[in-house]
Amino acid sequence: MKILRHSLVARIVAFLLVISGMAIASIGLTMLIAQSSQGDAAAINVAGSLRLNSAQIAEALQRPSHYDPDKTAREVNRLAERLSTRLESPALEKGHPYTRNSKILEQRNALKSQWQQTLTPVLDNALNGDESDVARAKAALDSFIHDIDRFVSTLENSTEAKIRLLSAVQVLFLVLIALLLLIALYDVRHNLVTPLRQLMVLSREAGRRNFHYRSNFKSRDELGQLGRTFDQMASELNTSYRELEARVSLKQEELRRNNQALHIIHNGSRTLYGGGNDLCASAAPMLRELEELLDIGPIVLSLHNEHDDSEMEILATRSPERPRYCRDLDCFACLEEAQNPLPFYGFNKNWAHEETQAQTLVLPVTVGHLLLGHLTIGYATPLSPSTRQMLNTLADHLATAIYLQQRIEEQQQLSLIKERTIIARELHDSLAQSLSYLKMQVARLERMQIKQLPMEQQQSVMHDLREGLNSAYRQLRELLSTFRLSLDKPGLQPALQQTVDEFSARLGFPVEFTYQVPPHLLSANEEVHLLQIVREALANTLKHARAHWAHVSLTFEHAELHLAIEDDGIGLSDDQSPPMHYGLIIMRDRARNIEATLNFKNRSEGGTGVYLCFTPQTDRLIEEGSF
C-alpha cells in the first residue's frame, strides 16, 4: 500500500489491473452461468413432451367401446413405453450435479416412482378391466399431468433464476467498474492532469524569465517529486540569473571603464609622442585620469640607468614633493593632489606593507629585450585581469614614448656631432687652407721687405694676397650661407624649393625642380645631408659649369630615394675633384654618412650629372625589425 501512495504510475497500473480483473471475472462468470444453462431448454421440452404423452395415453383410454381393444392396448402400451423412455431421457439429467437443486431432483424422482409404481399397474388394470378401472386410470393420469406441470414450472423457474443471476452479476461488475473508473479519473485529474498543467505554467513562466512561480506540490508521487525539483530548479535559476545579471552588469561597467581607459591612453599617446622631452608634463595628466577612472594610484615611473643598473624616479602622482630628478621647476604636474588619495609615504617607493595599506603592482617598461624602467602602481582593491591588461598597455605606450624620446635625443646629438664635424672639415678644407696660403704669402712679403727687394716684385705678392683674400671672403660667404640654412618649415620640400630659388637668382636662369617623395619619409639627419649635397652641387654649377640650364630631381621608387642634379655646362674631365676644390669630396662624405651611393658623370647631351641613391632609414629599420 505504501507504493500506491507514493507512486502515481503504480496507482494507474493498479486501477488498470483491477478493472481488467473485474472484466475478466465478469466474462468468466457469464460463461459459467451460460454453460450451466445448457440443456435447460431441452429438459423443459422433454418435460413438456411427458405432459403431452400422458394426455395422449388418457385420450387412448377413452376411445369408444366398439373400437378394437387390442389396438387400444397396443396404442396405450406404445405411448406408455414412450413416456417411460422420456422419463429416463439424459436431457432431464444434464447439468444436474452442479446446477439443479434438490427440489428438481425430488420432483423428477417422484414422477418416476409415480409412473412405475402407480400409473403402470393402473394402466394395466384399465386395459383389462371395466369402466371403473379406466376412470381410476384417467384420474391417475390427470394427477400425473399435474405433477409434470409443476416439474416444468420448476425447470422454468430454475432457468429464469440463472438468467436473473447473470443479469445481476453483469450489473454488479458494471457498477464496480464504473466506480473504479470514477475513482481512477478523479485520481488522474487530481494527481496527474492538474500537476501537469501547473508544470506547464511553471515552464512557460520560466521561459518568460519569471522564476518566482512555484508549483508547491505536497504529494509524494512522481509528479510531486518532479514539481519540487522544478521549484528547486526555478529557485536556482533565479539565483543564477540574478548572479549572471550582476556579473553582466559588472562586465558592462568594466568594459565601459576599459573603453574610457583606452580612450584616455589613446589621447595621452598623442601627447606622449609629440611632447618632446617633457615626459612628466605629457604623461602626468593621463596617469591622473587613469587613477580616477580605475580607482588606482599612486603611480610612480622610474627610468633604468643601464650604466650602473640604478633606478631614477622621474614621475609620481599624488606626491607631496617634487621628484629629485625633475628637469623643469616651473612644472607642477606631479604635485597636483587627487581626491581621496591612497596612503603613500615618500617618493622613493616606501609603500606601507600593512594589510590596511595599499598594495603595489610593478610593471617593467621594456621595448623588446631592452629594459627602460619600471611603472609602480598602487591599488586598494584587487585588480581584474582586464585592468591588469590595460596597465600593461599603458606600460607599453610609456615604453614606446620613452624609447622614441631617447632615440630622438641620441639622433639629435649624433646629428649635431656629425654636423659640427662636417663644418670643421669644410672650414679646414676651404677657409683654413686659404688662410694658410695667405700666411705663406705674408711671410714671403716680409722676407722681401727685409731684403728690400724692388717694389715690382713685392707687387706680385701683394696681388696674390689680394686674390687670396677675395677667394677666402667668397668661401666665407658660401659657408655662412650654408651654415645659416635651417629647416624652418616642416619637410624637405620647402627647404629645397628655397635653395632652388636662391640659386636660380644667382645663376640668372630658373632651375627646374621635381619633388616626388612621400611625407615624413626621411629623418632630420638625412634631410640635412640631402639639402647640403644639393647646395654643393648647385654651387659647383655656379662656379665651374658655365651652364644655361639646371635641373634638380628628388623621387622615391621601389623603397629607394633617387637624387639627380644636372646641368648643360662644360662637364668634367673625370669624376675626381679638381685641385684646390673639395666640393666632390664633401659630397662623398655626406653620402657615406647616410649610406648612399653617389656617382658623377658627364651627360650625353652635355654637362654634368650628380646622381645619388639610398634606402631611407625608416625603411631600413622596418626591414631589419629593430624598432
The Cα 360–Cα 383 span in angstroms is 10
Pairwise CA distance, residues 506 & 539, whole Å: 10
Q: What angle do CA 364, 359, 349 make, to 5 degrees?
A: 60
Instruction: Count CB-CB contacts under 10 A for residue 469.
Output: 14
Give the residue among 534, 535, 605, 600 at the shortest CA–CA distance from 569.
605
Of the ranges 46-60, 478-492, 512-526, the best mean pLDDT one: 512-526
Mean pLDDT of 87-116: 69
Q: Could you give the CA distance from residue 387 to residue 254 in angstroms, rounded to a whole number?
A: 8
Q: Which residue has the higher pLDDT, 320 or 133?
A: 133
Dmax (CA) for the chain in angstroms is 234
Amino acid at 276: G
- What is the pTM assigned to this prediction? 0.46
Alpha-carbon distance of 567 to 239, in angstroms, equals 87
Sheet containing strand 310-316, edge to edge, reads 310-316, 296-305, 370-379, 359-367
Q: Quick one: which of 572, 578, 575, 537 has its CA closest to 554?
A: 537
For 2-197, the fitting CATH number among 1.10.10, 1.20.120, 2.30.29, 2.40.128 is: 1.20.120
> How far out from the chain centre does Cα 27 lie?
67
CA dihedral 391, 394, 395, 401 (to 10 degrees): 180
Most confident of 45-54, 304-313, 601-610: 601-610
- pLDDT by residue (tens digit) across 197-253? 888 888 888 778 787 777 777 777 777 778 788 788 888 888 888 888 888 998 888
Q: Round to whole Å and give the CA distance between 523 and 528.
A: 9
Q: Comparing 462 with 274, which gets the higher pLDDT?
A: 462
Tell me the pLDDT tens digit for each residue of 12-34.
Answer: 888 888 888 888 988 888 888 87
User: What is d(CA 367, CA 402) in angstroms, rounded to the nearest whole number?
Assistant: 9
Q: Centre a 10 Å sphere on the Cβ of residue 106 and count the other Cβ atoms it contains.
A: 12
Confidence band of 353 (pLDDT split at 50, 70, 90) = very low
Cell (9 digits) for 286:
593621463
Sequential DSSP letters for 399-423: HHHHHHHHHHHHHHHHHHHHHHHHH
CATH topology assigned to domain 488-627 = Heat Shock Protein 90 (3.30.565)
With CA atoms as reference, report the closest residue to 34 among 177, 153, 167: 167
What nine digits make up the cell of 519?
Answer: 611625407
- Range list of H helices, 485-507: 492-507
Q: How far apart are CA 47 and CA 145, in angstroms?
A: 10
Cα 398 from Cα 392, distance rounded (Å): 10
Query: Strand order of the sheet with strand 560-567?
Result: 512-516, 550-557, 560-567, 608-614, 597-602
The pLDDT value recorded for residue 100 is 52
